[in-house]
Amino acid sequence: MKIPFFNLSSRPGNGTPTMTAGPLDLHHQDREQFQAVLESFHSTRIADRLAILDIFLATEQHLTLSELEQRVAAEAPKLRDRLFLKETMEMFCRFGFAQEQAFENRETQYEHQHLGTHHDHLICTRCGLIQEFVNPELERLQLATARRFGFHPLQHKMEVYGLCADCMASRDDTIPLQMAANGEKVRIVHITGGRATQARLLALGIAPGTCLEVVNNHTAGPFIIAIHGSRTALSADLAEQIQVTHSCRHDAPHPCPSAGEK
């Protein structure tokens, strides 16, 4: 069986394959190819699976199974069958038309898989935004690193977790430590508690000007920070009285050191 794959060409200067077709052409080609694969396997409900593929390809967003189900309910309510949707999405992934993305602490999401392309992800831990990006220099560095170790890479993915520009812009410059995100490096601006609280924190090495990293800030607790090379647990009340600012927002000539440095 011959499946009609689209042509790839090299981008001038870096030899990276790129697609010559536009998004609508790619979707049409993906649909044709998926239909050919389904027919070759004598699959059931081909028309229904193609209808779901059309809905999936109509958005460039990452979709969870629940989000896809909502779109199907709105556009093709007769196909709203979660087990059938899951089975069909698994087929998309198995045949190379979609990819599963299991981002940290999130429901599995699906995205298109177009031939000859690769991208990485920036994930905001506060609002859930997933930003795709491509950095040819980073790709070349990864290949060079693999060659240095005599390693032959087949595939890879990079996920960078942090705070998006909108979430950072919406925050006050100074916030209670309790509101800082997991993995965030901050500098203590001041402590709002009385002398007893300040003395208690000072005994832990926590004082204005000190840099620390938030290790665990989940509702299930406990609240854990890394400071002076060790982990320390704080109560919610104490964390609320420590005012901090993100390390990137300082005018100091030197950024906060790593939490492991003293």
- 132-147, pLDDT tens digit by residue? 788 889 889 999 999 9
* Whole-number Å distance between alpha carbons of 224 and 182: 9
Could you give the percent of the chain with pLDDT greater than 90? 32
Separation CA 33–CA 29 (nearest Å): 6
Which whole-number Å values give the CA distances from 139 to 32, 113, 160, 231, in the listed order?
31, 18, 15, 35
Domains of the chain (ranges; CATH) run 1-117 (1.10.10.10), 118-170 (3.30.1490.190), 171-249 (2.30.30.90)
Separation of alpha carbons 126 and 167, rounded Å: 7
d(CA 91, CA 248): 44
- Cβ proximity of 110 and 130 under 8 Å: no
Q: Say what the pLDDT of residue 225 is.
A: 93
Burial of 167 (0-12, 13-18, 19+ CB in 10 A): middle
* Top-confidence residue, 196 or 257: 196
CA distance 20 to 114: 12
First to last CA, the chain: 64
211 within 8 A of 247, measured Cβ to Cβ: yes
pTM beyond 0.85: the answer is no
Strands 120-124 and 159-162: parallel
If DSSP codes are grouped into helix, strand and coil, which group holds residue 11? coil
Q: What does the pLDDT read at residue 256?
A: 66
Least confident window among 35-44, 49-58, 114-123, 245-254: 245-254
Those residues with Cβ within 8 angstroms of residue 16's Cβ, 6 or more apart along the chain or in another chain? 10, 136, 139
Is the pLDDT reported for residue 78 higher than 90? yes
Give the largest Cα separation in the chain, rounded: 79
Strand residues in 1-69 grouped as ranges (E): 8-10, 17-19, 63-64
154, 146 Cβ separation under 8 angstroms: no
